[in-house]
Structure 1
Amino acid sequence: MLAVTGAAGAVALSFGALNAQGGPPQLPGALDASRVEAGTYATDASHSLVGWRVNHFGFNDYFGIFGDVAGTLEIDPADITSAKVDVTIPVASVTTASAGLTDHLLRAAGEGAAAPDFFGPDPAAARFVSTSVHQTGDNTAHIMGDLTLNGVTKPVTVQAEFVGAGANPFTQALTVGFEGHTTITRSEWGLGGFTPLVGDEVELNITIAFEKQ
């Protein structure tokens, strides 16, 4: 705690000095690929999550989050196509703005039902393992891989974007951050409860920070 408090104080003093000089605080991370070093990275799980969005009865969309995403990234900025990603998403810790909805997502199958409406109690974690990477721009790429969810494995493509890199001001760990987007058809993973009243297509919005090991 003392170390964290001290680091926070140092960061605050640095920001304060910049403000005193009339300049805005400088963010530790920057959209600068030259800051990325080759090597193996692990997720900063407390700042990595997958958000999901699905239509409800055709009226509006609602949202949820899977937090504490854990995994690794192997990357060489000289050859982005050689990058490898392997992340695990704890489905059992799904979060929504409604306690009732969260309970329903994790509810066991009702009497006489063959399966739960959605994830059911104690669902296994989901896992995404990349199979190839195709660079699409200076800071963007398509990451192809296999998504295992609800015991089913199918290929998906994540549209990924490099957000920033630099040293974490608290831990000094070299950190790189990415965002990603993809859409899956949940019934293909055996999670088609209440379709089409609840949309079959689910948008996934991914934001992950990786720290160099």
Structure 2
Amino acid sequence: MKKTLIAAAFATFFAGQALAAPQTYVIDSSHTFPRFSYNHMGMSKQILSFKKTTGTVVLDKSAKEAKVDVTIDMTSVNTGFDVFDGHIQGEDFFDTKNHPTATFKSTKVVFEGEKPVSIEGDLTIKGVTKPVTLKVTSFFNGPHPMLKKDAIGANATATILRSEFNAGKYAPGVSDEVELDIALEAVAE
């Protein structure tokens, strides 16, 4: 009887450990949109986006830990105007010929209760890596209503200086300060 109780206790312990394992979510590129905006010569706020983003989010709910690893195809920039898409991919800005992707890799995710509130990490653009903290403005984790799989949805913001990434041409006329606004959805593997 004693052996049965010990075996049951171990089985319960290890079953709980299996349920608490980190879950990997793959970014849904059709619902993930990194956008950036800047002041254009004091006349307007320009809002641009990228069409192709890949990566993963690993979430350990019980430990309240997460890892984010995102790659943005910089050649997928969408300004709304083909000529400007090409211009912004040039050496003065993204230099996509030599640096076709940008990456963000988290170093720390801060939770309040069950939800992440900020994501600290390294942003690499044009081969330059700088620390950036994303403020999480909304977070969802639960069943995807159509796919019937566990999913994550989040929005996050940050502000960077483009000159720190060797992309500061025309500053300050075109603002050096760039606001990032990211909408992300990811589905469990």
Deviation, 1:61, is 1.0
Aligned pair count reads 169
Q: Specify whether residues 151 and 135 from structure 1 end up closer, same or farther in structure 2 by C-alpha distance, changes over 3 A only.
A: same
Partner of 2:54: 70
Match of 1:105 in 2: 88
4+ aligned runs moved over 4 Å, structure 1? none
Kindly indicate whether residue 92 of structure 2 is the aligned counterpart of residue 117 of structure 1: yes
CA RMSD of the aligned region, Å? Answer: 2.0
CA contact (8 A) 1:140 1:161 kept: no
CA distance in 2, matches of 1:91, 1:153: 15
The question of whether the paired residues in 1 share the 8 Å contact of 2:53 and 2:70 is answered with yes
- Matched letter for residue 168 of structure 1: H
Structure 2 counterpart of 1:61: 45
CA distance in 1, matches of 2:55, 2:96: 23
Q: How does 1:186-201 map to 2 (within 5 A)?
A: 186-201=162-177
Counterpart secondary structure, 1:188: helix
Whole-angstrom distance in 2 between the partners of 1:208 and 1:166 = 14
* Consecutive unaligned residues in structure 2, runs of 5 or more: 1-20
TM-score normalised to structure 2 length: 0.81
Match of 1:42 in 2: 26
Residue 147 (structure 1) aligned with residue 130 (structure 2):
no
Q: Give unpaired runs (5+ residues) of structure 1.
A: 1-36, 108-115
Q: Write the distance in 1 (CA, Å) between the matches of 2:160 and 2:113.
A: 23
Please identify, of 66-75 and 187-196, the stretch whose mean Cα deviation from structure 2 is larger.
66-75
Given that 1:47 and 1:68 are in contact with CA atoms closer than 8 Å, whether structure 2 keeps it comes out as no
The answer to whether 1:205 aligns with 2:188 is no
Could you tell me how far apart the structure 2 residues matched to 1:137 and 1:98 are?
A: 43
Distance (Å, rounded) in 1 between the aligned partners of 2:25 and 2:121: 18
Aligned to 2:158: 182
Task: Looking at secondary structure, tell me which structure has more strand per residue.
Answer: 2
Residue in structure 1 matched with residue 147 of structure 2 by the alignment: 171
Contact kept, 8 Å, 2:94 with 2:125, in 1: the verdict is no
The aligned residue for residue 13 of structure 2 is: none
Cα deviation for residue 121 of structure 1 reads 4.4
